[in-house]
Structure 1
Amino acid sequence: MYKDERLPQNAKEGILFLLIVSIISVNTIAPIIMGMERGFSKENYLETLKILPVMWIIVVLLVKLVAGPIVGKILQKFVGQTDGFNARVLFSTLFNVIVLSILLTIIGTWVGTRQVSLAPFQNFFHSWFRNFGIAFWIELIIAQPIARFAMKKIHARKSSQVESLNP
C-alpha cells in the first residue's frame, strides 16, 4: 500500500475517507445530474433529496465491492513504484469514476425513476459522458481534496500527540 499522510493508513481512517468522499459526491453529483436531466428547480432538488440515502448506500457498496477491486487491479498496470502521489491520485480517481459512472448511469436512473427499464441503455453514451464529466471534476477538485485534507489533519494531530509524549 502506498503510504502518504494524505491517505488513510488503517481501516478506521479508510472508512472515514470513504464517508467524506461519498457524502460529498452523492450530495453534489446527484443533484447536478438531476438538475441537468429535469431542470434546476426547488422541486427537482427536493425530489433528489428523497433518493440520496438510497444512492449513498448504493455508492458505498459499489465502491467497496466492485470499483475498489477492479481499480486495484487496473491501477497496478498504470502506476509504477517511482510514480508520485499526484499521478497515483489522478489515475485512481479516473478509474474509480469511470467504473462508478458507468454503473451509476444505469442504476441511478433506475433508482431515480423508481423502475427497472431499458431507458438508461437507450441514451447511455449521452448520459454517461455527461455523468462522467460531472463526477470526475467533483471528485478531483472537491471531494478527494477535502478527504485528503482531513487525513492530513488527523495524521498531523497523531504525530503531535506522539511527539508530546516522547519529548
Structure 2
Amino acid sequence: MRFYMRLPRNNREFVVFLLVVSLISVNIIAPLLTCMEIGFSTQSWLGTYSVIGLAWLLVVACVLATKRPAEWLTHKLADKDDSYNMQLLANILASVLLLSVALTLLAPMVATGETLGHSLSQFILRWPRNFGVALFVEALIAQPIARRVMNAMHLRLDAKAA
C-alpha cells in the first residue's frame, strides 16, 4: 500500500515527483557543494543561482538517462520481498550513486566551463563529498517531501474517484 500511495503510479505522476525532487535537490545540493568548493559566503551561495537553471536541466537529463540503470541496480540491491523501506533505500542508493558520478563530472563543466579533463582529475577528491551530500539531501529531505506530495495527490484522486 505504501508503494501505491507514496510513489508515482504513471508517467504524469513521475513528472511531478521528478520536478519536486529535482527542484529541492538542485536548490540545496548545488549551492552547498559550491560553498564547500570555494568557501562559505553569501556571495558564493547566491552565485550558484546564476547557473541553477542549467544545473537543473542537467540534473533532469541525468535522472532520465540513469533511470533504467538505477532500476536495474535497485533490483540487484533489494529483493522483491524486501520491505518498503529497504526497497526505497536501495533505490535512493542506486540513483544517487549513478547521478553523483555523472554530475560530479558534468556539473562543473556546465557551471564554470571547466573541461572534462579537469573534472576527471578532480573526480576522486569531489565524488565522495558529492555522494554524501546528495545521499543526505535525497534520503532525508527531497524524496520524503516528494513522497508526501504523491500521497496527498493520491488521496485527492482516490477521494474524487470514489
TM-score by length of 2: 0.94
Partner of 2:144 in structure 1?
A: 145
Moved more, 73-82 or 135-144: 73-82
Structure 2 stretches lacking a partner, 5+ long:
none
CA–CA separation in structure 2 for the residues paired with 1:156 and 1:117 = 46
Aligned pairs, number: 161
RMSD: 1.4
Larger helix proportion, structure 1 or 2?
2
> Does residue 78 of structure 2 align to residue 79 of structure 1?
yes
Partner of 1:55 in structure 2?
A: 55
Q: Write the deviation string for residues 97-148 of structure 1: whole angstroms up to 9, x where unpaired.
A: 0111111111111122223242222221221000000000000000000000
Structure 1 stretches lacking a partner, 5+ long:
none
Partner of 1:30 in structure 2?
A: 30
Q: Write the deviation string for residues 38-90 of structure 1: whole angstroms up to 9, x where unpaired.
A: 1111221222001110011111011112x101111122222222112111110
After TM superposition, give the deviation of residue 162 of structure 1 in Å: 2.4
CA–CA separation in structure 1 for the residues paired with 2:116 and 2:6 = 41
Query: Closer, same or farther in 2 for the Cα pair 1:117/1:73, shift >3 Å?
Result: closer
Secondary structure of 1:5 counterpart: helix
CA contact (8 A) 2:31 2:46 kept: no
Q: Percent identity?
A: 36
Structure 1 stretches of 4+ moved >6 Å: none
Q: Write the deviation string for residues 2-59 of structure 1: whole angstroms up to 9, x where unpaired.
A: 9420001011110000000000000000000000001111221222001110011111
Partner of 2:6 in structure 1?
A: 6
CA–CA separation in structure 2 for the residues paired with 1:81 and 1:139 = 22
In terms of Rg, which structure is larger? 1
